[in-house]
Chains A and B, each alone.
Chain A
Amino acid sequence: MNVLVCDDDPQLCDELADSVQEAIGEEPRKLVGEALTKELTNFFGNIKGCLNLEAPERCEALPPNPFDESIVILDNNLTLLEVEGAPLTAESVAGYLRAFTRADYIISLNLNSDVDFDLRFLVGDYSTRADLALNTSHLANRALWTGNVADAKDGFLPWYWPRLNTVVAKRREQIAFVRDRLNEPVLPSLDFDDVRTELLSAHALGALSPTAEREGAENDGVSPEEISFRDVFVARDRSLPMRREREKLAKALGNEVVQDIIARTVAADIDFWFRRNIVGPQEPLVDLPHLLSRLPFLLGKQAKELNGWNKCLDVRQPPFAIDQRLYDVHLAPAKYTCDLWVPNACFWWHELKNDEKLDELFFLAEEGDWANVAFCEDRSLFFDRDANNEWPLEFPAEFEGAWSRRYVAHIGGYQYTPRSRLAI
């Protein structure tokens, strides 16, 4: 795995590198202090050509640089770097690195060290411009890299963490997907037809484009089905904060380098859009543990025992420990097909909900056929609700929609933020 850790402080950089090595067994590359200053200074010098508002079509590819083809881990505090102007942070450079280098995945470290588990939106830190915000202590948790519960340090493995050993391949696929469709509408390309689009929350539509407006509204916004990937590039400021720059680049249609910039930027935006607006709220798509929580009979006899619930989480291929026939007839047609955008297999919930046969099977189940379990988002496991009085703890996440009530095991020594949500 090609990992690059960047910090202004050599000692802290060594600590980061040691944490990564502890988890993945390989020493990451390091870019620290003066070397980092030099690379960033060169980088910002080189991208001036592309940000030249007079002639963005002359934008040229950057020379090879240390950020290319890596998972880049940037400590947020870069104040010791001797650069001109305001002190740098990971947040101030992450978007530019994404747009102009071939960095595969960018992690902002210690943006908010009070957050180990995000109770608000189940994404980590929704405000980051990187792909993911983590703390130093998380890097040594092998489960962050593998997604395996058995590797989880202290049992801590937020379900919303991506598996870092898969993000590079996934991001490259996502970029290629967007690159092939820059002028095509986003939602139909992602398999959202009119009915499915109707099920998106107002936040989800607004996050694609601030001018997105549902049919029937009286103003003159854009129909969600018409928003193209290129429109998303212009609308979203997570990578390039200046709208004028984005507008100019979006118009440089003949320049292949610019098309790559747009594809990288939009791929990261859509990936984040899925995590914040679809996977977090579990609507209109639902992934396996949340689906089983809603329709326990899918597990058949396994639903009686806690082990049966957790066993199915280890299976990553269809039929996911569900009865083959039931899966083939009812679940497979509702499976989300663009699965490069979701971390785990997902299904269209409204289609399953409206399936009369599944409905009948639900009502046929007897009291006592299902263990009384809850899915703990912080451990990526089901736990018995009857076995312990103190947890799983219920909390309401902050997103729109009906599925905001979730559970955590609340592991000691980890910060669950904001704590106030645990008391609601």
Chain B
Amino acid sequence: MSSLNLFDLIELYARRGVDDWAKAPPNLQSRAATCFMATQIATSYQDAADTLSTIYNGTNANKLSFIPMPKPGKSQKIDRCFFLPIRQKTASGEKMYFELVLLVSGTDCLAFRFEPADRPTWRHGYGHIQMNKKMLKKTINIGGIPQFIPDSYPAFPISTSSPLRMFFAMGTAVHGYADRGFAHLLVDVFQTAGRTSDSKPYLAELALFLGGTIRHRVDPGWKGLKVLASDFRHWGIRTISKKRR
């Protein structure tokens, strides 16, 4: 059984997004092109893979593309979403965060940043999400974002600085959780890759992170208790093995 691998997951998720984007109506594609530069959207798996493997150093923004997210459901009233995974070297290793752009309707956009904690003594010393006016360290201007929005506050806590969990937070924010939401999308991307069993650890991690109930439609009672106990056991095993490493 494979362990959790964020890059593998994003690559599969991006495949679905790129495929959906290739089938998007021309009108939607041209509207997106007026908000982004057309070349800033990943149109192939390779564009997405290149984005994911790039360590951003302030000079190589041309290697990064906004990755289309899978088509949202009609009830979500958002035309399409795009995300940018950004990796940066830091003194202690590597930091990763995500920028998210929603093409809501017409050419009206909104943007957000999912960021890990800053230094403990700083005001943003906790994993958080905030609104965005300019992307990629304020180097990319996205048309259609209202300029009145504040982009430092509010900075909502997301209770994690783990890149995988930030990705989960972003995916769930866009797709919802159950009922053809992000959990089903996770299943879907692994099913289409012929690797259904690999979806299980991600679903368990997602449920742990969100306190989600989809696995067991948690009803009080013996069944729900059994599943919660099993979750706890998995959490324990994972924590112990992490500590050993």
Contact surface of A with B, Cβ cutoff 8 Å = 293-296, 359-360, 362-375, 385-386, 394, 402-403, 405-407
Contacts and interface: CB of A to CB of B under 8 A. Distances in A.
Nearest to A407: B194
Contacts, number: 55
Of the listed residues B187, B204, B216, the one surrounded by the most CB atoms of chain A closer than 10 A to its CB is B187
Contacts of A373: 197
Contacts of B217: 360
A315 B195 CA distance: 23
Interface string B83-115: 000000000000000000000000000000000
Contacts of B187: 362
A386 B192 contact: no
A135 to B, nearest CB: 27
Given A363-B214, A402-B19, A374 B200 contact: no
Contact of A296 (B196, B214, B234): B196
Contacts of A296: 196-197
A368 B1 contact: yes
B191 A370 contact: no
**Minimum-distance CB pairs A-B, first 10:** A367-B200, A370-B197, A294-B191, A402-B192, A363-B215, A405-B193, A372-B197, A372-B1, A405-B194, A367-B201
A386 B191 CA distance: 17
Given A360-B217, A386-B1, A402-B19, A365 B200 contact: yes
A372 B198 contact: yes
A297 to B, nearest CB: 9
Interface of B: 1-2, 16, 19, 183-184, 187, 191-198, 200-201, 203-204, 214-217, 230, 234
Contact of B194 (A293, A365, A369): A293
Of the listed residues B184, B197, B201, B216, the one surrounded by the most CB atoms of chain A closer than 10 A to its CB is B197
A378 to B, nearest CB: 14
A385 B195 CA distance: 9
B73 to A, nearest CB: 14
A381 to B, nearest CB: 14
Contacts of B183: 363
B194 A366 contact: no
B1 A374 contact: no
Contacts of B201: 367
A363 B196 CA distance: 12
A360 to B, nearest CB: 7
Of the listed residues A363, A368, A402, the one surrounded by the most CB atoms of chain B closer than 10 A to its CB is A363
